[in-house]
Amino acid sequence: MVKSNYCKMISRSKPGPGDGGNTGSWRVMRPIINLDKCIPVKTGKKACFNCWLYCPDCVVTKTIPPTIDLSFCKGCGICAEECPADAIEMVDEASQTAKEK
């Protein structure tokens, strides 16, 4: 057998949201933004955005107010740690899902 089509299969995917699966389902702690404390919301200016900058999964938007895509947020808590205004609180995911039901 002479084969010319080697390497038909490799792990190569298009980058984009959800490429690593529905990673939001891994979350045990959920970040919640307190808009009263959030600097861009308070000042009305496109300022700070440390949460957007530090999020390793790029799920925080650089908008007023900032939003978090919970489909892919793994709940690592880096945004809460980096927020200079302490505007982000990490809360138990189970309590939130119970509330949503």
Nearer to another protein, 18 or 65 (CB): 18
The residue among 33, 16, 34, 32 whose CA lies nearest residue 72 is: 16
Using CB under 8 A as the binding rule, the residues of this chain from 19 to 58 that contact another protein are 19-21
Q: Return the number of other C-beta atoms located less than 10 Å from residue 88's C-beta.
A: 23
Residue entry with tokens 């490429």: 19
Nearer to another protein, 7 or 98 (CB): 7
Stretch of residues binding another protein (CB under 8 A), selected from 1-9, 52-60, 71-79, 87-95: 1-9
Nearer to another protein, 56 or 84 (CB): 56
Residue entry with tokens 């790029």: 58
Cα–Cα distance measured from residue 20 to residue 39, given in angstroms and rounded to the nearest whole number: 31
Would you tell me which residues interact with another protein (CB under 8 A)?
A: 1-3, 6-21
